[in-house]
Structure 1
Amino acid sequence: MERKNFVSELPKNERAVLQEHAPLPPRLIYNIIREEGEEELKRPLQALAFSGLAAGVLVSFSFLFRSIFHMHMAGYQIEPLVSCLGYTVGFLIVILGRMQLFTENPITTIIPLLSEFSWLRLYEVARLWSTVFFFNIIGTAIAAAFYSSPYTLTPEIEAAMHEVAVKVMTLSPVENILRGIPADIIIAAIVWISPQTKYFKFVMIMFLVYFIALGDFAHVVVGSCEMAYIVFANNASFFDYFFRFLIPCGMGNVIGGTLIFTLLVYYQVAKELKLEKKK
């Protein structure tokens, strides 16, 4: 017996409302992100560089506002719950502003590569990753240098920023790798969920990034600003910056965003995509 489609029996206006409120299927979300990734891979090098630089500078507000909240809440038991809200500020600016953040790229650009692998496409991905990562780090260094100026911030805020930043030094390279994994799984989840959260994207980003901070997970771009800040303060060396934090944390972020999250969502829809190509 043929199954009856109840949707066809509904009035036209009710069918429109039903379609508007229906959740997007995983295959459609995948194709939306693939289209975004295709557009990013075609962007000129100069556009990628300035977008990455802007993202590096502006995501540093996560470090700044977390420190300001920490300063005002010091001594209270709920200080972590409040100060971690400040960590969301830079991410909100960068993600909603559509700037290039390295930790978003693993899912956005790898999906087009998985969909249609070629050596040219692999080169385009490597070009985008290296450009965005380099200019993200340059941006965070510029921001850290600016915050380190004795004329920029009050002594109270400077002390709070030092307290927040020095915690990065307590982690070993292995810990930075491991704590970097869940951080970029969450960032990749933000990218994956975004097409479905058209009207409350602000809240979704704030909520998920809040738990990156609350869980003390390691994010390579924000963390590079914190590490650069304590390097400028002569409390850490460039060796610590590169080999204790930047390289291990970057590896952890790539593992979380690419090898875990992106491959999982790809194989979730791989069979449907193959059937789609045959049609």
Structure 2
Amino acid sequence: MTEEHENRLSPASAMDDLTQGEQRAVDHQSRPSAALIHETIRAEGERELERSAFALMMSGLAAGLSIGFSVVVPAILVVALPEAPWKHLLTSLGYTVGFLIVVLGRQQLFTENTLTPVLPLLRNPSRRRVLQVLRLWSIVLVSNIAATWMFAAVLAHTPVFDAEIRQAIATFSASTMASPFGAMFLKAVFAGWLIALMVWLMPASGDSKPFVIVVVTYVVALGGFAHIIAGSVEASFLVQSGAASFGDYAFTFFLPTLLGNMVGGVALVACFNFGQVAPELQQ
């Protein structure tokens, strides 16, 4: 085959034969590359690292309160639906509501931040970057957890929901602290992995972002995986209603879940996905 014939068949040459409108149509149909997704999330991470402590705190509080609906809606469905083998399949859909509010509302959720601010750190590692990431993590995590305790206090100590719904919350919240440390850690790894993957998928999702959020968080609910913020609403509800101690919250739920979510998000998503695009970024 001649060089001229090879050039005629090359992708670049083929694109040159298209009209501008056709080229735009091809670009529109093409999937974003991994490097483009990485740079989109990294740029967002850069902005998040520069936000003020007050802005991060308020956004974190909003997210912690909003995620409470991932506990309330399933309880309402548990009460409303008849007993049936498929009941868990429908009640698990309620778990997605809080995440839809948080992600589409651009509120700060700790598990999302196991990816977004980590990519700038991996791209340009430095002491300043490490301190920025630790600052963001600490502010968001503390504000998320504080808000979950406030939400759980309302559930436990006010009549905003009737006794039947509160009993449903207590019943399925009991599974939050029913696993030993190792099992809880592994469940949390899967949850952190899935939530960080959800963030990775968002730049390529376009108008399908709500669908991506629902599918990924639905899998978290179906699998009974442990999420540090949504689970904190359940665990702190048990503490405030007298069904568990603060020690149970801290060592049976919080510690293994936090560690697992961080391993799932940072190691399995941030590091792996950075690794696949690192050679391209260095060119």
TM-score by length of 1: 0.97
SS in structure 2 at match of 1:151: coil
- Using the alignment, how far apart are the partners of 1:30 and 1:169 within structure 2? 36
Separation (CA, whole Å) in 1 of partners of 2:214 and 2:35: 26
Q: Secondary structure at the match of 1:199?
A: helix
Give the secondary-structure state (helix, strand or coil) at the position aligned to 1:220.
coil
Q: Which has the higher mean CA deviation after the structures are superposed, 107-116 or 65-74?
A: 65-74
Aligned equivalent of 1:84, options 88, 92, 104: 92
- Alignment length (residue pairs): 275
Task: Report the Cα distance in structure 2 between the residues aligned to 1:167 and 1:159, rounded to whole angstroms.
Answer: 14
SS of equivalent residue, structure 2 residue 117: helix
Q: State the match for 1:139 in structure 2.
A: 147
1:140-219 → structure 2 map (5 Å cutoff)? 140-219=148-227
1:149 deviation in Å?
A: 2.1
2:108 matched residue in structure 1: 100
Alignment of 1:235-274 (within 5 A): 235-274=243-282
What is the aligned partner in structure 2 of residue 120 from structure 1? Answer: 128
Query: Unpaired runs of 5+ in structure 2?
Result: none
Distance across 1 between alignment mates of 2:273 and 2:153: 39
The offset of 1:74, in angstroms, is 4.8
Normalised by the length of structure 2, the TM-score is 0.95
Query: Which sections of structure 1, spanning at least 5 residues, go unmatched?
Result: none
Of residues 31, 34, 48, the one that matches 2:39 is 31
For residue 89 of structure 1, give the secondary structure of its aligned residue in structure 2.
Answer: helix
- Runs ≥4 in structure 1, deviation > 2 angstroms? 1-5
CA distance in 2, matches of 1:74, 1:135: 37
Distance 1:221 1:74, change over 3 A: farther
Match of 1:11 among 10, 19, 22: 19
Q: CA RMSD in A?
A: 0.9
* 2:192 partner amino acid: D
Distance in 2 between the 1:189 and 1:220 partners?
A: 16
Q: Which SS does the other structure have where 1:10 is aligned?
A: coil
Give the Cα–Cα distance (whole angstroms) in 1 for the partners of residues 193 and 177 of structure 2.
23
